């Protein structure tokens, strides 16, 4: 029905949703017959320059060339070879079509946001489990890449990184695939339950984010044991508005939220504290989740706690986040520093390496 209409203006809110040009939504919006096009997004680039190309390809097809040519001309030289001349060329070409207003300009009255990194240290049992998983998966990844190449080994790479992240969060997440893991204590889980009761006793209103809904389930069980009330929002939550309202009305002071279900589209300025239980690859996604609380209407200082296990893949994810942030800033923000590629073979080996 929409394809049959002629539109004066087509506006994409959260335009990063079309970052994959092969996705159905990205293909359909390109077919709509319209006179003017506009992309609205706080995160035009989360991983790599190809995502910026995808949005320009929707706005002005052909302006940045075909995807293959764009990769050869801009993406590879900038991301892999730190080519400042190509970066400057790209900035000059895209700059006239970008209007950026940062939060400190739009909402200068916002109270401060303070980020706090809290590190958890494995005990000997969890450290042995982590190292065992790391060695096993590193060998599996090396073998797969040697046999099939990186492009055809993504599933195995993701499986390896997933298992390491699960050990960091709580070994019970591995219990189905690894007998005995359920009996291994979790340093981060213990850290959370040292921190959380104190915050709630101080009268803080807390948003707790995790990518793993199963992790939120484990946290729920412990909260029930301690008789701590909470609300929860995941992709499986049927009464979404009711869960949100319980937190907004002050019925509960703790809101468990899966990153995917609650990362955008929520206004939760009643919260003054955000906890990220596990780091995510994209700093932009974490920032969006944090901004459920730190946004227009907030009148209290916001404290953001990031929980990370020492000497693990999680610390390397933090370093990767920093590099991605610098790449994004070099294209549409302050500074002109280049970055390394988001994920290549060297990055994978670094993530799976020991200390």
The vertex-346 CA angle with 154 and 144, nearest 5°, equals 40
- Domains of the chain, first to last: 2-97 (3.40.50.10810), 113-352 (3.40.50.300)
Percent over 90 (pLDDT), the chain: 54
Residue 350 clears pLDDT 70, i.e. is over it = no
Binned at pLDDT 50, 70 and 90, residue 344 comes out as low
User: What is the crossing angle of helices 313-332 and 49-59, to 10°?
Assistant: 40
Q: What is the pLDDT of residue 340?
A: 38
Sheet with 231-233, strands from edge to edge, namely 113-120, 302-309, 273-276, 206-210, 254-258, 231-233
Q: What is the pLDDT of residue 153?
A: 84
The two structure tokens encoding residue 127 = 């450290």
Q: Is 73 helix (H, G, I), strand (E, B) or coil?
A: helix
Q: What is the pLDDT of residue 343?
A: 55
Binned at pLDDT 50, 70 and 90, residue 203 comes out as very high
Residue 199 burial (CB count, 10 A): 18
What's the rounded mean pLDDT across residues 117-145? 92
Say which DSSP state 183 is in: G
Average pLDDT, the chain: 87
Q: Each residue of 32-70: pLDDT tens digit? A: 999 999 999 877 887 789 999 999 999 999 999 999 999
Q: Each residue of 301-337: pLDDT tens digit? A: 999 999 999 999 999 888 877 777 777 777 766 443 3
Closest CA to 43 of 14, 10, 74: 14
Q: Which helix (H) or strand (E) holds 54?
A: helix 49-59
Binned at pLDDT 50, 70 and 90, residue 101 comes out as confident
Residue with tokens 């508005």: 241
- Beta-sheet strands, E only, within 238-316: 254-258, 273-276, 302-309
């Amino acid at each position: 029905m929409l394809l049959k209409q002629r539109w004066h203006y087509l506006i994409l809110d959260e335009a990063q949703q079309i970052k994959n040009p092969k996705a159905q939504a990205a293909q359909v919006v390109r077919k709509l017959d319209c006179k003017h096009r506009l992309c609205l997004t706080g995160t035009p680039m989360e991983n790599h320059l190809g995502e910026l190309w995808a949005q320009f390809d929707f706005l002005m097809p052909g302006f940045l060339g075909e995807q293959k040519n764009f990769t050869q001309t801009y993406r590879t030289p900038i991301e892999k070879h730190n080519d400042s001349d190509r970066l400057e060329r790209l900035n000059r070409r895209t700059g006239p079509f970008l209007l950026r207003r940062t939060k400190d300009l739009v909402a200068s009255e916002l109270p401060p946001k303070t980020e706090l990194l809290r590190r958890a240290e494995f005990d000997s049992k969890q450290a042995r489990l982590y190292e065992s998983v790391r060695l096993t998966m590193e060998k599996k990844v090396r073998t797969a890449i040697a046999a099939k190449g990186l492009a055809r080994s993504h599933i195995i790479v993701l499986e390896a990184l997933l298992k390491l992240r699960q050990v960091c969060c709580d070994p019970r997440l591995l219990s189905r695939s690894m007998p005995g893991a359920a009996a291994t204590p979790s340093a981060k889980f213990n850290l959370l339950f040292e921190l959380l009761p104190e915050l709630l006793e101080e009268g803080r209103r807390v948003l707790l984010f995790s990518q793993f809904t199963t992790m939120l389930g484990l946290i729920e069980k412990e909260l029930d044991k301690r008789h701590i009330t909470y609300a929860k929002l995941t992709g499986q939550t049927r009464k979404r508005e009711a869960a949100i309202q319980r937190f907004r009305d002050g019925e509960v002071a703790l809101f468990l939220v899966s990153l995917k279900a609650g990362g955008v589209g929520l206004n939760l300025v009643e919260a003054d504290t955000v906890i990220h239980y596990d780091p995510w690859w994209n700093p932009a996604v974490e920032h969006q989740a944090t901004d459920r609380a730190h946004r227009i209407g907030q009148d209290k200082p916001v404290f953001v706690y990031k929980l990370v296990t020492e000497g693990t893949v999680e610390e390397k994810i933090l370093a990767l986040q920093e590099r991605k942030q610098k790449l994004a800033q070099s294209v549409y923000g302050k500074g002109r520093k280049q970055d390394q590629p988001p994920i290549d073979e060297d990055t994978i080996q670094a993530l799976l390496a020991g200390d």
